[in-house]
Amino acid sequence: MFPWLLLALSVCVRPSTGLPPRHVDSVVQIVEALESTDHGFTGTVPELARALGGCSTPGCRAVLGEPPDVPPAPPTLSREQWLLFTQLLHHDAAAPERGAVLAPDGSTVALGPLLAGIEVGLKRATGWPVPTAEPPVDALYAVTIAEALGTSFLLARGGDGNRAALGPGGCWDDVDDPQNYTLLGPPSPIPDAIANGAMDGVLLGARLARAPIPLADLLRDYYGTGNGTEKGRPPSSYRRRDFGVLTGPEKLEREVAAMLRVLRVLPPTRELLEDVGPEEVAAIARQAARDFTEVYVECPAIVPRCMWGARPYRGTPKLLTLPLGSVYIHHTFIPSTPCRTFAACAHAMRSMQRFHQDTRGWDDIGYSFVVGSDGYLYQGRGWHWVGAHTKGYNSKGYGVGYVGDFSATLPDPDIIALVRDGLLPCAVRTGRLHRNYTLRGHRQMGRTDCPGNSLFREIETWHGFK
């Protein structure tokens, strides 16, 4: 009914295009080339992105104005680079997955909301007057998340319960040469890539408003492109934490409600909201802010099996009966060194799965979830399949294993918190774990030193330990 609302990534696989990889590194190279010299476009790179369709929704046009005309191909870009950039920013309802790129930390980011937030930040740094939208909106949130979030929950209301308002995630065909992105479930207007791009757009837009720097340098630093990830975790791996600090649920709720009221008076969206009263607008905004915060701020990101290169499960997996009553904490021991990058953690997951399947003879990697020191959880058996982590208790609880040997040392504090303050409360809120769950170390359930003396002493202080 409203084609512009179809912001989700489609499940569509195409043959190799010969274009540069759909990776943040490719975007940084394009931006650097555009910033290096006069490229025949009088605006900024984000304005060029908007000319190509990167922010073409009614709300974005109301805030930032009509997009500039599309310029000729800049001479500083190769034909392939220009074609890739055009595809990434051109909003095509039939193939919107073209707007997503893979970041070095293993997350997937939609370029449209990212560059829209950056444009607002750059404008604010130059004294841009506040947009005259009525009611007033925060432009940074309006062009990144508020419009998409409000319309997603507006469309999902009053349905049969099968229409998702958030998610899902997806996987790339090849993490070394990403070209095609495939969703892992029915699309919504805010799949994970849109959520990540929106959060990054808010964070980087706010940063640029304080201290403008060249866009290529900003992206390179934030995503850790090139050799950046060798120096530790890139800032993008902290996006959920940082967005939560900057944006509380109350702020998000206010901006979603304000944007819905703006959409009510815009001709393209007036019909969509004509039967929605003020109280329902407030209720939609409240639910949207609450659900988004739970899914993308309070719950940690989990890297799906297809992203770390899992082999298929052997045989037929057995379903768990949820909610479970227990959690068992492990360390992998081997690999003994914590993994601190997506590439290293994915390699560790494949190595453990080969050992568990080929040497132990198990159907799959044994753990339910594995904890990397890159700031991400990795899906093993996941939420629904019986694992092979704690003999005699696999159907009674989740097995969560930290990558590394933690006999004498501890994981980093934020990696400890990833499970203690992130995964476990999230599992309770989503009905996968009983509120009065029991937490134990592997050694309490069998003859083993796992999860190491240091980590065991740590988990003795956690909620639910017995």
Region 348-370 average pLDDT: 97
Region 217-246 average pLDDT: 85
pLDDT single digits (tens) 372-411: 999 999 999 999 999 999 999 999 999 999 999 999 999 9
pLDDT classification of 36: cutoffs 50, 70, 90: confident
Would 465 be classed as within a structural domain? Answer: no
Would 466 be classed as within a structural domain? Answer: no
Q: Are residues 311 and 294 in the same domain?
A: no
Q: Are residues 279 and 178 in the same domain?
A: yes
Residues near 51 by beta carbon (within 8 Å), at least 6 away in sequence: 41, 43, 67, 68, 69, 70, 71
193 membership: H or E segment, kind and range = helix 192-210
pLDDT single digits (tens) 79-88: 999 999 999 9
Residue that is last in its domain, among 298, 328, 363: 298
Region 164-182 average pLDDT: 93
For residue 9, what pLDDT is reported? 34
Q: Residue 226 pLDDT > 70, yes or no? A: no
For residue 301, what pLDDT is reported? 97
Q: Are residues 239 and 152 in the same domain?
A: yes
In the predicted model, what is the mean pLDDT of the chain? 90
For residue 92, what pLDDT is reported? 62
Q: What is the DSSP string of 345-408?
A: HHHHHHHHHHIIIIIS--SS-S-SEEE-TTS-EEESSTTTB--SSSTT-TTTEEEEEESS--SS
Instruction: For residue 53, count CB atoms less than 10 angstroms from its CB and return exposed for 0-12, middle for 13-18, buried for 19 or more.
Output: middle
Q: Are residues 364 and 290 in the same domain?
A: no
Would 437 be classed as within a structural domain? Answer: yes
Q: Residue 98 pLDDT > 70, yes or no? A: no
For residue 164, what pLDDT is reported? 82
Specify the higher pLDDT residue, 305 or 159.
305
Would 223 be classed as within a structural domain? Answer: yes
Q: Are residues 65 and 206 in the same domain?
A: yes
For residue 2, what pLDDT is reported? 32
Q: Residue 130 pLDDT > 80, yes or no? A: no
Domain count of the fold of the chain = 2
Would 46 be classed as within a structural domain? Answer: yes
Would 464 be classed as within a structural domain? Answer: no
Q: What is the CATH number of the domain that holds 347?
A: 3.40.80.10
Region 287-311 average pLDDT: 97
For residue 4, what pLDDT is reported? 32
For residue 18, what pLDDT is reported? 84
Region 34-47 average pLDDT: 79
Would 316 be classed as within a structural domain? Answer: yes
Specify the higher pLDDT residue, 227 or 301.
301
For residue 94, what pLDDT is reported? 46
Would 215 be classed as within a structural domain? Answer: yes
The answer to whether residues 400 and 328 touch, using CB atoms and an 8 Å cutoff, is: yes
Q: Residue 200 pLDDT > 90, yes or no? A: yes
Q: Are residues 341 and 436 in the same domain?
A: yes
Domain of 372 in residue numbering reads as: 306-459
Q: Which two tokens stand for residue 344?
A: 């290293």
For residue 227, what pLDDT is reported? 44
Q: Are residues 252 and 171 in the same domain?
A: yes
Q: Are residues 12 and 103 in the same domain?
A: yes
SS3 330: strand
For residue 115, what pLDDT is reported? 97
The answer to whether residues 103 and 228 touch, using CB atoms and an 8 Å cutoff, is: no
For residue 135, what pLDDT is reported? 75
pLDDT single digits (tens) 59-77: 999 999 999 998 899 999 9
Region 83-104 average pLDDT: 81
What's the CA gap between 308 and 311, in Å, rounded? Answer: 10
Q: Are residues 177 and 225 in the same domain?
A: yes
Question: H-type helices in 232-323, by residue range?
Answer: 239-246, 249-265, 267-273, 278-293, 305-308
Q: What percent of the chain has pLDDT over 90?
A: 82
pLDDT classification of 103: cutoffs 50, 70, 90: very high
Residue that is last in its domain, among 270, 298, 326: 298
Q: Are residues 249 and 351 in the same domain?
A: no
Q: Are residues 293 and 371 in the same domain?
A: no
Angle at 198 between CA 80 and CA 180, to 5 degrees: 40
Region 92-121 average pLDDT: 87
Residue that is last in its domain, among 266, 298, 330: 298
Q: Are residues 114 and 237 in the same domain?
A: yes
For residue 163, what pLDDT is reported? 66
For residue 129, what pLDDT is reported? 82
